[in-house]
Amino acid sequence: MKESKYNIYVEYKDQYLVFNSRTIATAALDKEAIDILEAVRRGESIEQSDLAKQMKRVGFLVDDEADELQQLEMKYNWGKYQPSGLGLVIAPTMACNFVCPYCFEGMQTGILSEELQEKILSMVSVFAKDGQNVDITWFGGEPLLGKDIIYRMSERMMEICQKEQVCYEAGIVTNGYLLDEETILKLKKYKVTSMQITLDGLHDTHNKKRRLKNGSGEPTFTKIIENAVRAKEHEFEMAIRVNVDKETEKELEPLLDFAIEKGLSENLYLGHVIANTDSSKSFCDNCLSTEEFARTAVNFEKLLFKANLPTDYPVPTRTKCGADYLYSYVIDADGDVYKCWNDIGIKENSIGSLKNAESIDVFMENPNFNYTKYMTWSPFNYNKCRQCKLLPFCMGGCPYNGIGIGEPICENWKYELEEYIKLKCDAVD
């Protein structure tokens, strides 16, 4: 046996901690475990003790002939191309009722026609008949400006999946302003079970950034919070994303206290605001660097820990997101199809249009550059990733950002992983 190349060691509180980034196993090493690791480093054979077997089971030790990097690459490629269900991000409209200064989409319009709705439903039917589960995310623009489309299409997709005996799941990304009681009950009826709502700091900061498009100046924070609380009462799985920039990072502690008071702290997480499209570049000076965001994120995790709330921790992954999974697509209100929702509405980034396609297969049979650049993107093409101990859960970071600059961009874990490991240790003490 040999030591895993993905072991990371941290000294903390007179303990020697080990974290394996391939299995996410974390442990404090006693003398016997340290002796085993030192022996295998010297190339010595070790006794197959219960402890040695356990260390192998959780990934701290591996077989001599194991090539962990090759195993990761195989699983990565398998995750990209192995059918595991259809994932669709659908924008029933690209219009929005807000004018947020950092929005990557810019000012767009358009609503999904009945003809395009039928083409999407046909796509869902093909995959469901093949035994593939269906996962839908309603996006925009603001998707609730097209809620009648959501209701109609949801009903049809539920019928299709029930007929073919496959699972159907749906969620929505919304600014939350239009989530009145009637809408919440309708979404629940049509099996939209999860939602993400975004906040930009506390009342004043949020109201300054997330403004209504109609120019009324009416504040949005209080109404969004009331709607989120109402949706939570109806048992929606609620995620509150807090956009973090140089201004909102100063308000995270009081915002957490406020979320706890309102019962919205269960899945409160930080989103790194990045000016990575032409529409959002004017906001660039207010953005944090990855390293700055990493420090902010770990300090926020300490606040969560102090409040006895769930904290973040790395998760092993085969692929990074839907952008590098073959059967995941983003569809805008004009029927243009994309691989990443950062591209939505940017026509030159489309992989094709449903208007001119009989089925989604035509995009795979003759893929354009926008399609192939995502599907051939791989962290294993870059030495800095191949040599990195964080590769198993980072997988090269965001494909969109990496493709944009021509190499993978390291994520915040790179800068503060040791602090997360220490937090994990404190959590089990």
pLDDT tens readout for residues 53-92: 999 999 999 999 999 999 999 999 999 998 889 999 999 9
Q: Is 33 a domain residue? A: yes
The pLDDT assigned to 104 comes to 61
| φ/ψ (deg, to 5) at 99 | -130, 85
Query: CA 87, 88, 89, 94: dihedral to nearest 10 degrees?
Result: 170
Q: How far is CA 179 from CA 112, 327, 354, in A?
A: 21, 30, 30
- Cα–Cα distance for residue pair 418/345, rounded to 1 Å: 39
- Has residue 21 been placed in a domain? yes
Is pLDDT of 367 > 70?
Answer: yes
Q: Are β-strands 352-353 and 7-12 bridged in parallel, bridged antiparallel, or unpaired?
A: unpaired
Give the integer Cα–Cα distance in Å for 131 and 261: 44
């049979």: which residue's tokens? 365
Q: Quote the CA–CA distance of 24 and 255 in Å, as a whole number.
A: 30
Q: Does residue 420 contact residue 310 with C-beta atoms inside 8 Å?
A: no
What is the predicted pLDDT for the residue at 106? 58
Whether the per-residue pLDDT at 429 is higher than 90: the answer is no
**Is residue 237 within 8 Å of 267, Cβ to Cβ?**
yes
Residue 341 placed within a domain? no
The 10s digit of each residue's pLDDT in 228-287 is: 999 999 999 999 999 999 999 999 999 999 999 999 999 999 999 886 555 455 567 888
**Does 50 reside within a domain?**
yes
Summarize pLDDT for 12-41 with one digit per residue, the tens. 999 999 999 999 999 999 999 999 999 999
Residue 276: the pLDDT is 58
Q: What is the pLDDT of residue 114?
A: 97
pLDDT at 207: 96
Whether residue 213 lies inside any domain: the answer is: no
> What is the torsional sign of CA 303, 308, 312, 314?
positive
Residue 157 Cα to chain centre, angstroms: 24
* pLDDT over 80 (residue 308): yes
Dihedral angle, C-alpha 419, 425, 426, 429, nearest 10 °: -170
d(CA 84, CA 82): 6
State the Cα–Cα distance between residues 142 and 177, nearest whole angstrom. 9
Mean pLDDT of the chain: 93
C-alpha closest to that of 333 among 111, 76, 101: 111
Q: Is residue 381 part of a domain?
A: no
Q: What is the pLDDT of residues 183-206, one digit of tens each?
A: 999 999 999 999 999 999 999 999
Q: Is residue 355 part of a domain?
A: no
Within 13 Å and on the Cβ side, how many CA atoms surround 36? 22
Number of domains in the chain: 1
- Triad 30, 34, 37: Cα angle to 5°: 145
Q: Is residue 168 part of a domain?
A: no
Selection from 118, 188, 129, 206 nearest residue 160 by Cα: 129
Looking at residue 262, its pLDDT comes to 97
Reported as a pLDDT band with limits 50, 70 and 90, residue 316 is confident
Task: Tell me the residue range of the domain where 7 lies.
Answer: 2-66
State the average pLDDT over residues 297-326.
Answer: 91
